[in-house]
Amino acid sequence: MQTIIEPFRIKSVEPIYFNTVEERTALLKEAHHNLFLLKAKDVLIDLLTDSGTSAMSSAQWAGIMKGDESYAGSESYFHFEEKIQTITGMPYVIPTHQGRAAEKILFSILGGKNKYVLSNTLFDTTRANIEYSGAQGIDLLCDEGKDTSLVANFKGNLNIQALQEQINVLGSENITMVVLTVTNNSGGGQPVSMANIRAVRAICKAHNILFYLDACRFAENAYFIKTREDGYADKSILTIAQEMFSYADGCTMSAKKDAFANMGGFLALRDEALTKQCRNLLVITEGFPTYGGLAGRDLEAIAIGLDEIMEESYLHYRIRSMEYLCNKLHDADVPVMRPAGGHAVYLDAKKFLPHIPVHEYPGQALACALYLHGGIRSVEIGSFMFGKYNVFGNLIPATHELVRLAIPRRVYTQSHIDYVAEVILEVFQQKEKIKGLQIIEEAELLRHFTAKLIQLN
Ligand code: PLI
């Protein structure tokens, strides 16, 4: 088989600054063992997130120059609106400065005390916005998704039986909505099948419950459906995406993922009355309805990016790149989540560092070790990010202790990825030397962004 090459040429480059292990040791200490607190220039390979970190195309940069910056009725808005309407089939489109702003607007209106939002897995900002409104988020991931080493096609699926049971227990009138996150970011970037989307839709319809998609990575999800689900091999990504959205009442989307944009997001809806309420909030928190939280040039870049993301040569290369890194690690016995996700490879820190108990945050300890050893920045998705405390102040751990290596779109080449694999293998060979961490300062919500930690001896 021929090598699958990057389906682009590079026209503009950014330098990477090299530093030493000694320098990184001091930098990590200064950053209180929290990689969010590092300066980006001190990172060699930045796999913290695939959000807002994509390389834009020459067509997108040209769009940036064309952006119409009119306060009201910008041409760029209509381009943006038309593209989203075509993909989602939803008539009402609300631009926001990023995904969480769309979530904030939606849950300010639909959330509130004694309400519930059910999901395959809520992303952390979504959960935070739900909880901030007084409502509660409940994850109902399928059993296959909970086993990090099990190879299955659609590990992002929602557990349909659990959904039915929760509806019976909570009462449909108390359930604000069901949200399917596609792909399931916090659950390993694993896809959701069309059959699962359809089944969720049927249950929601039967119980008169709203059904939304968190659509940040809809194109990667559509590619998985095309390549793994019967009946979709000959369909275009656009057709598959249109079918996915056709079952939903609305969606939130961060355009910083599957739209190749450095900033942006939107809320798309079918309900006119709810749209009016959302736009009222938009005007006081984000901006006028035809720009929301964005400049005209951002709207233009997103509209173009939404087309580019659905190109099959791109998606083929994208998904294959994840498999390449995942397989290299798996072949060397490194515990990785399998199969590879759509935007990231996830290390299973509990298995990687069995000598570190969960209350000493093995995921965060591993992420710090990758930075120290090779200047790679990753992110912990485990008890540091999602852990809570019980009434006695003891940690209630997250389901998994993962380290996510999120790959920015169109940014790194195969040799960068080979280097990442080498660093991980070297760290794996010396894993016993890695020590646990203790949190010494933390915020109430989304603590992982700012918390300070110390290394235990
Ligand atoms: O970062 P925002 O506010 O544009 O989007 C929030 C958001 C919502 N849903 C999902 C599934 C996400 O992955 C997401 C943001 N993800 C980030 C920042 C990430 O690093 O994965």
- The token duo for 154 is 């659609």
Closest CA to 188 of 364, 354, 347: 347
From atom 16 of ligand 1, which residue's Cα is the shortest distance away?
Answer: 51
Distance 319 CA to ligand 1 centre (A): 19
Distance 123 CA to ligand 1 centre (A): 7
Q: How far apart are CA 407 and CA 345, in angstroms?
A: 8
pLDDT of 442 reads: 94
Distance 9 CA to ligand 1 centre (A): 28
- Scanning 334-413, the segments in alpha helix (DSSP H) are 349-352, 362-374, 383-386
Tens-digit pLDDT profile for residues 221-271: 999 999 999 999 999 999 999 999 999 999 999 999 999 999 999 999 999
pLDDT of 23 reads: 98
Tens-digit pLDDT profile for residues 332-355: 999 999 999 999 999 999 999 999
From atom 10 of ligand 1, which residue's Cα is the shortest distance away?
Answer: 123
Q: How far apart are CA 378 and CA 370, in angstroms?
A: 8
Distance 51 CA to ligand 1 centre (A): 7
- Asked whether 415 and 93 are in contact (CB, 8 A), the reply is no
Instruction: Kindly give the number of the ligand 1 atom that is closest to the alpha carbon of 98.
Output: 4
Tens-digit pLDDT profile for residues 384-439: 998 989 999 999 999 889 999 999 999 999 999 999 999 999 999 999 999 999 99
DSSP H or E stretch at residue 353? none
From atom 17 of ligand 1, which residue's Cα is the shortest distance away?
Answer: 51
Q: Which residues of 154-178 are buried (b: 16+ CB within 10 A; e: fewer)?
A: bbbbbbbebbeebbeebeeeebbbb
Q: Which CATH architecture has domain 21-50+312-455?
A: Alpha-Beta Complex (3.90)
DSSP state letters, 249-297 = SEEEEETTSTT--SS-EEEEES-HHHHHHHHHHHHHHT--TTTTTS-HH
Pocket of ligand 1 (CB under 6 A): 49, 51, 98-100, 123, 125-126, 181, 185, 214, 216, 254, 256, 265
Q: Which residues of 79-100 are buried (b: 16+ CB within 10 A; e: fewer)?
A: bbbebbeebbebebbbbbbbbb
Distance 385 CA to ligand 1 centre (A): 14
Overall fold of domain 58-308: Aspartate Aminotransferase; domain 2 (3.40.640)
Instruction: Find where tokens 């992110």 sit.
Output: 379
| Single pTM value for the model | 0.95
Q: How far apart are CA 276 and CA 109, in angstroms?
A: 11
Domain limits, the chain: 21-50+312-455, 58-308
